[in-house]
Amino acid sequence: MKRRKNGMAAERWTGSSAEKAQDFQVSITIIEARRLAGLNMDPMVQVQVDGYKKYTHARESTNCPYYDEYFVFDFNLPSAELLDKLITLTVSLTDFFRVFHCRKWLRPGPVVGTFKLDLWTVYHAPGKQLIISQSFHHKWAVLLDPDDPGGGPRGYLKVDIGVTARGCPLKVPPKKEKEDDEIEE
Protein backbone atom coordinates (compact mmCIF):
# COMPACT_ATOMS: atom_id res chain seq x y z
CA MET A 1 0.00 0.00 0.00
CA LYS A 2 1.32 3.45 -0.88
CA ARG A 3 0.45 6.78 0.66
CA ARG A 4 -0.45 9.95 -1.18
CA LYS A 5 1.12 13.27 -0.24
CA ASN A 6 -1.93 14.24 1.79
CA GLY A 7 -1.60 11.06 3.89
CA MET A 8 -4.65 9.22 2.52
CA ALA A 9 -4.13 5.55 1.70
CA ALA A 10 -4.45 4.52 -1.94
CA GLU A 11 -4.73 0.87 -2.84
CA ARG A 12 -3.73 -0.56 -6.15
CA TRP A 13 -6.42 -2.50 -8.02
CA THR A 14 -4.39 -5.64 -7.49
CA GLY A 15 -4.48 -5.21 -3.70
CA SER A 16 -7.04 -6.34 -1.14
CA SER A 17 -9.80 -4.27 -2.76
CA ALA A 18 -9.58 -6.52 -5.83
CA GLU A 19 -11.82 -9.13 -4.15
CA LYS A 20 -14.61 -6.71 -3.17
CA ALA A 21 -17.33 -5.74 -5.61
CA GLN A 22 -17.07 -2.07 -6.55
CA ASP A 23 -18.96 0.29 -8.84
CA PHE A 24 -17.13 1.07 -12.09
CA GLN A 25 -17.97 2.91 -15.28
CA VAL A 26 -16.59 2.15 -18.71
CA SER A 27 -17.12 5.15 -20.99
CA ILE A 28 -16.58 4.95 -24.73
CA THR A 29 -16.83 7.78 -27.24
CA ILE A 30 -16.99 6.85 -30.91
CA ILE A 31 -15.60 9.93 -32.63
CA GLU A 32 -15.22 9.08 -36.30
CA ALA A 33 -14.24 6.41 -38.81
CA ARG A 34 -11.93 6.72 -41.80
CA ARG A 35 -10.92 4.67 -44.81
CA LEU A 36 -13.73 2.15 -44.40
CA ALA A 37 -13.57 -0.57 -47.06
CA GLY A 38 -16.29 0.19 -49.60
CA LEU A 39 -18.01 3.12 -51.23
CA ASN A 40 -21.35 4.83 -50.72
CA MET A 41 -22.14 2.87 -47.54
CA ASP A 42 -24.36 3.55 -44.55
CA PRO A 43 -22.12 2.52 -41.59
CA MET A 44 -23.01 2.20 -37.92
CA VAL A 45 -20.93 1.11 -34.93
CA GLN A 46 -21.86 -1.54 -32.37
CA VAL A 47 -20.14 -0.98 -29.01
CA GLN A 48 -20.07 -4.11 -26.85
CA VAL A 49 -18.65 -4.56 -23.35
CA ASP A 50 -19.09 -8.01 -21.79
CA GLY A 51 -22.21 -8.84 -23.78
CA TYR A 52 -23.91 -5.45 -23.28
CA LYS A 53 -24.46 -3.79 -26.67
CA LYS A 54 -25.15 -0.21 -27.72
CA TYR A 55 -25.26 1.31 -31.20
CA THR A 56 -24.41 4.60 -32.87
CA HIS A 57 -26.76 6.21 -35.34
CA ALA A 58 -26.23 5.23 -38.97
CA ARG A 59 -24.49 7.73 -41.23
CA GLU A 60 -25.64 7.74 -44.83
CA SER A 61 -23.56 7.46 -48.02
CA THR A 62 -20.05 7.79 -46.60
CA ASN A 63 -16.97 5.75 -45.84
CA CYS A 64 -15.62 8.48 -43.47
CA PRO A 65 -18.49 9.02 -40.99
CA TYR A 66 -18.35 11.40 -38.03
CA TYR A 67 -20.26 10.18 -34.95
CA ASP A 68 -19.16 11.86 -31.69
CA GLU A 69 -21.45 9.56 -29.69
CA TYR A 70 -20.86 8.73 -26.01
CA PHE A 71 -21.74 5.45 -24.26
CA VAL A 72 -21.48 4.45 -20.59
CA PHE A 73 -21.52 0.92 -19.20
CA ASP A 74 -21.95 0.43 -15.43
CA PHE A 75 -20.52 -2.58 -13.59
CA ASN A 76 -20.52 -3.74 -9.98
CA LEU A 77 -17.78 -6.36 -9.64
CA PRO A 78 -14.34 -6.95 -8.23
CA SER A 79 -11.70 -4.97 -10.10
CA ALA A 80 -9.80 -8.11 -11.16
CA GLU A 81 -12.97 -9.36 -12.88
CA LEU A 82 -13.60 -5.98 -14.51
CA LEU A 83 -10.12 -5.88 -16.05
CA ASP A 84 -10.81 -9.22 -17.79
CA LYS A 85 -13.81 -7.80 -19.67
CA LEU A 86 -13.53 -7.37 -23.43
CA ILE A 87 -14.52 -4.32 -25.48
CA THR A 88 -15.59 -5.09 -29.05
CA LEU A 89 -16.18 -2.31 -31.58
CA THR A 90 -17.84 -3.50 -34.78
CA VAL A 91 -18.52 -1.34 -37.82
CA SER A 92 -21.25 -2.77 -40.00
CA LEU A 93 -23.35 -1.62 -42.90
CA THR A 94 -26.86 -0.55 -42.05
CA ASP A 95 -29.63 -2.84 -43.15
CA PHE A 96 -32.97 -1.07 -43.40
CA PHE A 97 -36.05 -3.25 -43.55
CA ARG A 98 -39.69 -2.31 -43.72
CA VAL A 99 -42.27 -3.31 -41.17
CA PHE A 100 -45.99 -2.55 -41.45
CA HIS A 101 -45.56 -1.05 -44.95
CA CYS A 102 -44.53 2.45 -43.83
CA ARG A 103 -42.07 2.19 -40.92
CA LYS A 104 -38.37 1.68 -41.50
CA TRP A 105 -36.41 -0.21 -38.88
CA LEU A 106 -32.67 -0.29 -38.60
CA ARG A 107 -30.49 -3.30 -37.88
CA PRO A 108 -26.81 -4.11 -38.36
CA GLY A 109 -26.00 -5.71 -41.69
CA PRO A 110 -22.73 -7.09 -43.11
CA VAL A 111 -19.63 -6.44 -40.98
CA VAL A 112 -16.98 -4.07 -42.34
CA GLY A 113 -14.47 -4.71 -39.52
CA THR A 114 -14.00 -5.23 -35.78
CA PHE A 115 -11.61 -4.16 -33.05
CA LYS A 116 -11.19 -5.95 -29.71
CA LEU A 117 -9.47 -4.73 -26.56
CA ASP A 118 -9.54 -5.84 -22.94
CA LEU A 119 -10.02 -3.37 -20.10
CA TRP A 120 -6.69 -4.40 -18.55
CA THR A 121 -4.94 -2.80 -21.55
CA VAL A 122 -6.92 0.43 -21.12
CA TYR A 123 -6.23 0.59 -17.40
CA HIS A 124 -2.49 -0.09 -17.77
CA ALA A 125 -1.96 2.41 -20.60
CA PRO A 126 1.29 4.44 -20.48
CA GLY A 127 1.20 7.58 -18.38
CA LYS A 128 -1.10 6.11 -15.72
CA GLN A 129 -1.06 7.75 -12.31
CA LEU A 130 -2.01 6.05 -9.05
CA ILE A 131 -5.69 6.81 -9.33
CA ILE A 132 -8.71 4.69 -10.12
CA SER A 133 -9.18 6.29 -13.51
CA GLN A 134 -7.51 5.74 -16.84
CA SER A 135 -8.32 6.40 -20.48
CA PHE A 136 -7.30 6.09 -24.08
CA HIS A 137 -7.78 9.53 -25.60
CA HIS A 138 -8.28 10.04 -29.35
CA LYS A 139 -6.75 6.70 -30.36
CA TRP A 140 -7.22 5.09 -33.76
CA ALA A 141 -8.50 1.50 -33.61
CA VAL A 142 -7.60 -0.67 -36.60
CA LEU A 143 -10.66 -2.51 -37.91
CA LEU A 144 -9.98 -6.06 -39.11
CA ASP A 145 -12.17 -8.61 -40.87
CA PRO A 146 -13.23 -11.05 -38.10
CA ASP A 147 -13.07 -13.97 -40.58
CA ASP A 148 -9.62 -12.99 -41.90
CA PRO A 149 -7.62 -11.00 -39.28
CA GLY A 150 -4.46 -11.27 -41.39
CA GLY A 151 -6.15 -9.66 -44.38
CA GLY A 152 -5.11 -6.13 -43.47
CA PRO A 153 -7.01 -3.09 -42.24
CA ARG A 154 -10.66 -2.64 -43.26
CA GLY A 155 -10.75 0.89 -41.86
CA TYR A 156 -10.00 2.91 -38.74
CA LEU A 157 -12.14 4.08 -35.84
CA LYS A 158 -11.17 7.02 -33.62
CA VAL A 159 -12.24 6.43 -30.02
CA ASP A 160 -11.92 7.56 -26.42
CA ILE A 161 -12.13 4.75 -23.85
CA GLY A 162 -12.15 5.39 -20.12
CA VAL A 163 -12.35 3.22 -17.00
CA THR A 164 -13.22 4.87 -13.68
CA ALA A 165 -14.54 4.03 -10.27
CA ARG A 166 -18.04 5.50 -10.09
CA GLY A 167 -17.89 9.06 -8.83
CA CYS A 168 -14.25 9.62 -9.84
CA PRO A 169 -13.70 12.11 -12.66
CA LEU A 170 -12.12 10.81 -15.85
CA LYS A 171 -8.73 12.45 -16.44
CA VAL A 172 -8.70 13.88 -19.94
CA PRO A 173 -5.41 15.11 -21.41
CA PRO A 174 -5.28 18.87 -22.08
CA LYS A 175 -6.19 19.93 -25.61
CA LYS A 176 -3.32 20.68 -27.93
CA GLU A 177 -3.41 23.79 -30.08
CA LYS A 178 -3.11 21.69 -33.20
CA GLU A 179 -4.21 18.12 -32.68
CA ASP A 180 -2.44 15.52 -34.80
CA ASP A 181 -5.30 13.87 -36.67
CA GLU A 182 -3.24 11.43 -38.69
CA ILE A 183 -3.87 7.71 -38.43
CA GLU A 184 -0.93 5.92 -36.82
CA GLU A 185 -0.16 2.84 -38.90
Residue-wise pLDDT tens digits, 117-156: 998 888 777 654 433 455 678 889 999 998 888 889 999 9
How far is CA 146 from each of CA 21, 51, 91, 141, rounded to the nearest angstrom? 33, 17, 11, 14
Indicate the pTM of the whole model. 0.78
Rounded to the nearest 5°, which phi and psi values hold at 134?
A: -155, 150
Alpha helices, H only, the chain: 79-82, 119-123
**Higher pLDDT residue, 165 or 158?**
158
What is the spatial distance between Cα 107 and Cα 103, in angstroms, rounded to a whole number?
13
Asked if residue 185 has pLDDT above 90, the reply is: no
Residue-wise pLDDT tens digits, 168-179: 776 665 565 555
| Residue 97 CB coordination number (10 Å) | 10
Residue-wise pLDDT tens digits, 2-28: 433 433 333 444 445 547 899 999 999
Domain boundaries, the chain: 20-165
Which 3 state secondary structure label does DSSP give 151?
strand
The CATH architecture annotation of domain 20-165 reads: Sandwich (2.60)
